[in-house]
Structure 1
Amino acid sequence: MDVKGIFAALPWWVKWVAIPVIALLVFGGLIMNVVGFLVGLLFKLLLFAALVGGLVYVVRKFTSSGT
């Protein structure tokens, strides 16, 4: 019996509720770690871009006023 045959015999609530809940219970920590890593990385990239932009602004302001 193949996987499609096994899932076809199950009620809808097992396929669409019970199995995803079990997957979240088993892999929830891993999923949260990956999401947390991606959010942290995005925050660091935005912070880096803001700091570099601010540095470029300050350097241009002081070098243009000096000449």
Structure 2
Amino acid sequence: MREIFTGLPWWVKWIAVPVIALVVFGGLIASVVGFVIGLLFKALVFVALVGGLIYLVRKFTASSSSRDW
């Protein structure tokens, strides 16, 4: 692989090739990043909902157990 880039200017290696890769694979990269961000957001919502449920259950069970019937 190094033999291919030997003798080429620096801007071909460090600017042109990455730009071409982004143009070709840009849609794939964007969809993967979007999927990962969406998954993290759903995981965060899940953790918040479970935490809220646990908080509410503990609050109501603690207040109902302190009352004597």
What's the TM-score bracket when you normalise by the shorter of the two chains?
over 0.9
- Determine helix, strand or coil for the equivalent of 1:51: helix
Question: Larger Rg: 1 or 2?
Answer: 2
Greater than 6 Å deviation, 4+ residue runs: none
How does the TM-score come out when normalised to structure 1?
0.94
Task: Extract unaligned runs of 5+ from structure 1.
Answer: none
CA distance in 2 between partners of 1:60 and 1:32 (Å): 42
Cα distance in 1 for partners of 2:11, 2:34 equals 30
Please tell me the root mean square deviation across aligned C-alpha atoms, in Å. Answer: 0.6
CA distance in 1, matches of 2:8, 2:25: 22
5+ long unaligned stretches in structure 2? none
Equivalent residues in 2 for 1:20-35, closer than 5 Å = 20-35=18-33
Question: Secondary structure at 1:10's aligned position in 2?
Answer: coil
SS in 1 for 2:3: helix
Task: Count matched residues.
Answer: 65
- The share of aligned pairs that are identical, in percent, is 69
TM-score by length of 2: 0.91
Give the counterpart of 1:6 among 4, 7, 20: 4
Which residue in the other structure is 1:53 paired with? 51
CA distance in 2, matches of 1:59, 1:6: 65
